[in-house]
Amino acid sequence: MDFPTIHTNFWDAVIGVPIVLILTQLIKIFLKVKRKFIPTIALIIGLIISVFFSHPHNLIAGIFMGFFYGYAAIGSYSSLKTTILSFRKDKRTYR
């Protein structure tokens, strides 16, 4: 069995992941989705963008990169939120 060749480039991280982040946040704000479903929504958006727009001619690559987009967006959001909360807590401690 040969593994598929998956070409990732700089634009996958620079465009794909932020688009997933932005769309997920817009859906969260405007559709009032419960917080527990947000990671699943990010993953579905990542898969849709990857399979239909980034890698339309290679399903395996589209699915693989869709998981990358979704999970990278989830991790980026979580990391940013944790950093901001930690910074706010530190700021209150030193006052």
Q: Where are the domains of the chain?
A: 35-95
Which amino acid is present at 70? Answer: G
- pTM, two decimal places: 0.81
Give the pLDDT of residue 38. 94
Give the pLDDT of residue 6. 63
C-alpha dihedral, 37 to 40 to 45 to 51, nearest 10° = -160
Rounded to the nearest integer, the mean pLDDT of the chain is 87
Give the pLDDT of residue 89. 82
pLDDT higher than 80, residue 93: no
